[in-house]
Chains A and B, each alone.
Chain A
Amino acid sequence: MHSAIQQQLNILDYGLHSLWQKKGKNLAVFLIFSAVIFLLASFQFMSASLGKTAEHLLKTVPDITVQQLLAGRQVPLSTESVEKLDLIFGISDIRLRIWGYYFDESNGANYTVIGSSAPATDPLLESLLVSGRYPTEDENHKVVLGDAVIQNLDLQNRTHFSLFRPDLSQISLQRVGVFQESANLLTADLMLMGLEDARDLFAMQENEITDLLISVGNPVEISTIAEKIANALPGSRVITAQQIQKTYKAVFSFRSGFGAACLLASLAAFVILAFDKALGFSREDQQEVGILKMLGWQTRDIMRLRFYESLATAACAFGLGISLAWIHILFFDGILFRPIFLGWSVLRPTLTIIPYIQGRDILLLFAFSVLPYLAATIIPAWRASIVRPDSVV
């Protein structure tokens, strides 16, 4: 047993040595392989990191969101519906919200406007502010703005600004707080204001809102309560926080899959290159195999030698590609692939993503890159190893 291991180690030693001697020849394969792995890994890490960022941010989402549908489209909900929900046990809090979009004609941007009945009392929202405070319930014309909104309105240090109602009369607003950059996936284009102000801005009726935000005391009961709400308010759409989270993950997962599918072409090209490169062994290579065979090496020993060489190349390229991808995500915020994941609208969120890496992602990347490469080098390795010593030496 011991001598068998020693034999393998000797073959490995010889393989690494001959790989080092032929480094010029293997450099091209190594570099291209690293580049392919870098691209694949960047996509995978970016997707995992964005999923993590979304998960982190969505902790602020209420347990259940209720909207009213009419003919399949969302319509305003009446505040009277709150009374119907009061009868359901297990609901700890109901908040009213107006959620809409404000189109800024001067620069073509769409801002997300949220009017909330009591933003200041929400402990979860507190952590999202970088400076200032939320408007209290009895205050009017006070707003909290996201990063991108401030830049687009060119506010700089000014706190007062105006927006247009649908009839083109103006409503004056004062900035009292700013959202932090790390929450930009959700808040970059956001204006948060009191319920009355939002109603005023969109010219909605007195008792109209767009959604109800419901907190549930016991998280295990969320799905049961969601079902009861759906029964109490006919035609309503009831969404749980978990569903939203899964949807975000699904979106990022599909985008990373799309990226991987696009990169498959480069992977295929690389595998063909590796196959071709391994197939084209020179006169010296043949002589080397001939001499080894004359020294008593068997076909299987030479195949093992070639296997160790491929494995060493793949391992180094894999390490380099993964490290570069990690640097790309960690220090450059995944700059190459941001537009694909985050969109390219006028208000592009300048988001700080939480770098996140999992062992399973490494395993997946291994399946994507190293396995096809190893498979592509078996047949050339065999072709090289069946050389008859008397024909070359």
Chain B
Amino acid sequence: MLGTSWAIGLTITSLVVLFVTLRAAYTGVRVVRFWDQSADSPLQIRLESEIWLSSTLMEYGLFFQLFSLLLLVIAADSFAAILPGAMCATGSFLANSYGMKVLVLKLVSVFFYGFWILIHRLDICSPHYPLVRLKNIYLLLLCPLLLTDMTFQTLYLNGLHPDIITSCCGVVFQKPDVHLLGLSQQMATPTSIVLFYCGCFLLLLTGWLNFRYSSLLLAVGACLLFPAGLWMVTTFVSPYVYAMPHHRCPFCILHVEYNFVGYPLFVSLYLASFSGMGIGLLGLFASYSELAKALPRFHKNLRSQFFVFLLFFVVLSLYYPLKYLVLGGE
């Protein structure tokens, strides 16, 4: 189905992301090879102005990649209207083996873009650009990820045939023998729900109190928070949103019928996880004396972001189950 307008839109977006990243990588290669802070050669002067280009390109790249992720989810949802048997985006993603891979790759790459921009913002706080070489090596490592993303996306779109019968979310989330990354094989048990929300509470507490190993704890917690949060939304929160115990789907909550509640849920979960992981990332640069002034400021900002977004996620995700418990079913 490479010929549909959604597929063309996705391909154009990916090409744009690839273009900006490869152009930034071109600068990156030269920075890694020739950067010399003490020199005043024409090349060094040129590179010093070019790093502004590459950082702007990467900021655009993050925005475009976020857009591409959104487009992929919405495209999968509209493919469901064409693929026989698929009822929503889940059916479309499972229509061939590349669907879920593309989704995961895009999610991961959005995190990596975000980290790059965090490092860049930190770097430009010092006039000596202490992280310039490091961030450009990082940039070069992003390129294979994006190329894989683009390849898988093309394979996914190419492998969609409107005549394949695919399983819909109702079937997928009921049958234990269908694997969706091992996420949704079973319903959340009371134990796992209590465990998850206790974990969130502890993370909130850690974010609030600043003790010795709190940064490390936050970083590890945030790494677990993202997959656990996705799983919890799918298996525990979504049935309450749909008011149907057997309907467990992470994509239908993005629809207008459910007031687009999925967007604030996923965005707050993403931002909380990103901030938490970012705190861990900052810990790696503690030894740079040039950044000694900027680091505490970044640290404080990320901590407050982490706290606010996680609190928002916890409150919003508990709203529907609590509403059901207090007011009863629809």
Contacts and interface: CB of A to CB of B under 8 A. Distances in A.
Interface in A372-386: 372, 374-375, 378-379, 381-382, 385-386
A371 B5 contact: no
Contacts of A43: 5
A253 B92 CA distance: 15
Interface string A42-69: 0110010001000000000000000000
A379 B9 contact: no
A295 to B, nearest CB: 18
A348 interface: no
Contact of A367 (B13, B60, B78, B82): B13
A381 B84 CA distance: 47
B193 interface: no
A367 B49 CA distance: 29
Interface in B32-56: 49, 52-53, 56
B74 interface: yes
Given A253-B82, A360-B74, A367-B71, A303 B56 contact: yes
Contact of A44 (B5, B19, B77): B5
What DSSP secondary structure best describes chain B's contact surface? helix
A363 B16 contact: no
Contact of B5 (A47, A303, A381): A47
Given A360-B74, A371-B67, A254 B16 contact: no
Nearest to A365: B9
B16 A371 contact: yes
A366 B13 CA distance: 10
Interface string A295-312: 000011001000100000
Given A258-B3, A374-B60, A378-B53, A367 B12 contact: yes
B241 interface: no
A386 B10 CA distance: 33
B110 interface: no
Interface residues of A, number: 39
A382 B60 contact: no
A165 interface: no
B23 interface: yes
Given A367-B67, A375-B64, A261 B3 contact: yes
Given A256-B4, A258-B3, A246 B162 contact: yes
Contacts of B77: 360
Contact of B12 (A259, A371, A382): A371
A242 B86 CA distance: 11
B28 to A, nearest CB: 15
B8 A264 contact: yes
Interface in A170-197: none
A378 B57 contact: yes
B202 interface: no
Contacts of B56: 300, 303, 307, 378, 381-382
Given A246-B84, A375-B64, A378-B56, A386 B49 contact: yes
A379 B53 contact: yes
A375 B52 contact: no
Contacts of A386: 49, 52
B93 to A, nearest CB: 17
Interface string A80-116: 0000000000000000000000000000000000000
Given A242-B84, A300-B56, A368-B12, 17 more contacts: A246-B82, A246-B83, A246-B84, A247-B162, A250-B162, A257-B3, A259-B5, A299-B49, A299-B52, A300-B52, A303-B56, A363-B71, A367-B68, A375-B60, A378-B56, A378-B57, A382-B52
Interface of B: 3-10, 12-13, 16, 19-20, 23, 49, 52-53, 56-57, 60, 64, 67-68, 70-71, 74, 77-78, 81-84, 162
Which 10 pairs show the lowest CB-CB distances between chains A and B? A257-B4, A382-B53, A257-B3, A367-B9, A386-B49, A250-B82, A260-B5, A257-B5, A250-B162, A375-B16
